[in-house]
Structure 1
Amino acid sequence: MLRKTLTLALWQGARHADAGLDELSDIAVIIADAAKAGADLLVFPEGYLTGYYRPGLRAADLAGVDAALDRLGRVIADAGIMVVMGTHRVWERALVNAAIVFDTRGRQVGAYHKRALFGAWERATFEPGTLPLRFDCGGFRVGLAICYDLEFPELIRAEAEARTDLVVTPTALMAPHGRIAELLPAARALENQIFVAYANRTGREHERAFVGKSCICGPDGGMLAVAGEAPEMLVAQLDRRAIRTAREEASYLEDLGRLRENSG
């Protein structure tokens, strides 16, 4: 029997390249705090492990990422929760902007590569991903997006059509684009009648200032939890019955199918 509820945690905060890959005690504290809060799943921001904005980034700069992910897996196993970690890494000799999914035993069960690369720096630095990634957590079907991916309604609609209950989005949204955090996660949740979570960075990297405003949105577009601009842990309990309730009067997915049929 499928569970009806999932406790989701998002970490909104800053971690920079100079934090290094050898010492992960700061991340271990966050994971332990999420476990104490009863979280089934914890989501970190985009590029959190490595730092996000790194001009001149080369493969050699990421040589320690895989070993760090292995160490992180052991931390996660001790906590006993699932984790999505944003990181840059080398994949098949290309640099990718990734979100790594760990199960409760600390095993890597999937890696999502950002498909919609934002701006000149990302396009010059990373190879875009081409495939979605979905995984199960506590009976919920979870899809992934990274930051700019969420700004394409077609990508999130594909997740809803694949019967995901929740899309989690590691993010590095910067000024002056704060309106995106205020509007689009809720819109994507509402128009697909699913849960959408948006885990953003805080602080600065070089000239870029991140706006925070992380949120967890329900299938009616309502905010279940929302952060300001400072580091913060968001926790919300998601109830799958809210998806059914949102779709009782009008299901956008079913009605879209009818529109497609009638349009020939």
Structure 2
Amino acid sequence: MRLALWQGEGVAGDPAATLAEIDRAATLAARDGADLLLFPEGFLTGYHLPTLRPDDLPWVEDALAQVGRIVARAGLSVVLGTHVPEGRTLRNAAIAFDATGTELGRYGKRALFGQWERATFAPGRAPFLFDCAGLRVAIAICYDVEFPELIRPSAQAGADLVVVPTALMAPHDRIARQVVPVRAMESQVFLAYCNRTGHEHGLDYVGLSRICGPRGETLAEAGAGPQLLRADLSREVLRRERAENSYLDDLARLSAPDG
């Protein structure tokens, strides 16, 4: 799989401009041969919208249909962060599309961060996995990745790659630099952490998107500004690492009644 991450920002309050940015990034990634393109948390809608209510986002479903058409033209799979109204509540979600533009499913962020998120969103309840370019892919969102208890079950369910749309703000750059590589290593998966850039309602996003391998090694990393990040991922790398020393197999033995 060739994986691409778009570290950037949409235009909050201007869906047409944000869709144009999605189109541009998808075109660039497709020209580079990407199989899967990942966007940051809340990319379609904006992430930190302090007074957000479900009635503020009546346009999201139509915009997602347009994203499907963009994806179909580009011919690559996409995972896109967006806030989604669900009746009288909201979900902080990531939407997965296959290369035909068909929506595969929606993942809701389970670990809501801080008072604003907990007051604004309903938490997700379940993991979500899909297949792409020969790899099994799981989704987490931002604060989710700071809990090994939320990532390892996806690895145990067969995930080869965990993609993480995020909105990591200053001063928490240690999450990108320190936590993300460890999370990849301890579950022996590829892990892609795709952050926002710029400023939004008092938050300064740090960038530092990265793609890590199953030894915790950094395969690609970004600075603070907009960037298309890419890396080639191979199941053979996972096979060799897991054959040498499988944390998942050893954990299963340790968890057995006679372990």
Q: Give how far 1:26 is off.
A: 1.8
Is 1:38 aligned to residue 54 of structure 2?
no
Is 1:131 aligned to residue 126 of structure 2?
yes
Q: How does 1:213-252 map to 2 (within 5 A)?
A: 213-252=208-247
The equivalent of 1:260 in structure 2 is 255
Q: How many residues align?
A: 259
Over residues 180-213 of structure 1, what are the superposed CA-to-partner deviations in whole Å (9 max), with x where a residue is unaligned? 0001111111001110000000110011000100
CA–CA separation in structure 2 for the residues paired with 1:65 and 1:181: 29
Q: Would you identify which runs of 4 or more consecutive aligned residues in structure 1 move more than 4 Å? A: none
Contact 1:16 1:52 in 2 (8 A): no
AA of the residue aligned to 1:185: V
With the length of structure 1 as denominator, give the TM-score of the two structures: 0.95
CA–CA separation in structure 2 for the residues paired with 1:23 and 1:124: 26
Specify the SS of the correspondent of 1:17: coil
CA–CA separation in structure 2 for the residues paired with 1:67 and 1:222: 39
The equivalent of 2:196 in structure 1 is 201
Say if 1:234 and 1:93 are closer, same or farther in 2 by CA, change over 3 A.
Answer: same
Q: Give how far 1:14 is off.
A: 1.4
CA–CA separation in structure 2 for the residues paired with 1:135 and 1:115: 18
The equivalent of 1:3 in structure 2 is none
Specify the SS of the correspondent of 1:18: coil
Over residues 25-74 of structure 1, what are the superposed CA-to-partner deviations in whole Å (9 max), with x where a residue is unaligned? 22111110000010000000000000000001011211100000001111
CA–CA separation in structure 2 for the residues paired with 1:72 and 1:250: 41
CA–CA separation in structure 1 for the residues paired with 2:122 and 2:15: 23
Over residues 117-153 of structure 1, what are the superposed CA-to-partner deviations in whole Å (9 max), with x where a residue is unaligned? 0000000000000011000001210000000000000
Is 1:17 aligned to residue 12 of structure 2?
yes
With the length of structure 2 as denominator, give the TM-score of the two structures: 0.97
CA–CA separation in structure 1 for the residues paired with 2:119 and 2:3: 34
Contact 2:11 2:18 in 1 (8 A): no
AA of the residue aligned to 1:183: Q
Is 1:141 aligned to residue 125 of structure 2?
no
The equivalent of 1:190 in structure 2 is 185
Aligned identity (percent) is 56
Specify the SS of the correspondent of 2:256: helix
Aligned CA-pair RMSD: 1.2
